[in-house]
Amino acid sequence: MKKYVLVVLALLGLVVPVNAAFFVAGDFNGWNASGNVMTDNMDGTHSVSLSNVAGRHEFKVTQGDWSWNYPGPNSWFYGDGSGNVTITFNTNTVLDGWNPGQYRIGLSTDPGTWTVAGSFQGWSNNNPATAMTAQGGGVYMLSQTLAAGEYWFKPVVTGSWDSISDDGRNVNTNNMYLNLAADSVVNIYVDALVGKVKAEVVPEPATMALFAIGSLFLARRKK
């Protein structure tokens, strides 16, 4: 019974209050829970622009006090060359195949280099072999061939544990999980600006050939 109570309380802690005003608290404003108010964009998103914040910083989204804050571990950003950044908090549920599906933290800045760290490469956060390739628009991708089995991994800012995973943008996020029934190509994506990730499993050519033969067989039977 205690486990169920704890799970319910944890879920309630993630629920955003209705008609809430949001603020950003971080190391740049003395962790003042009402330090920087976010603008309500009237579409389920809230945003705030900060200046004089060059370099790396940690922060949370609050309601003006510490009774509610998000995410659990601190979120992070890197200010641009002029020391500016815009933070966006999206409370909408978005069904686009990426995670997290809600409470995405977006940024106007991109650290620029991403690596996939995982159980298949020794959990190295700066391994050139698993460096992600820029696709444009803040999106990065790594295509990796993996044998059948279980894997844990996450995209990280190269050389750090600043990450984006299924629990959002924070320091040392949850590990993503895959259980592959057969050898597969896995495409891992991160959108550094929107704050979302996804992993797509691409069947090996042999599997695709078997699928095609099976489809042809079924088509002939239907004639």
CATH number listed for the domain at residues 2-107: 2.60.40
pTM score, whole prediction: 0.84
Residue-wise pLDDT tens digits, 200-215: 999 766 444 333 334 3
Let me know if the fold of 2-107 is the same as that of 114-206. Answer: yes
Q: Round to whole Å and give the CA distance between 150 and 73.
A: 26
pLDDT of res. 125: 98
* Residue with the larger pLDDT of the pair 56 and 20: 56
What CATH number does domain 114-206 carry, 3.30.379.10, 2.60.40.10, 3.40.640.10, 3.40.50.2300? 2.60.40.10
The CA-atom distances, in angstroms, between 1 and each of 9, 11, 15, 170 are 13, 16, 22, 30
- Say what percent of the chain tops pLDDT 90: 82
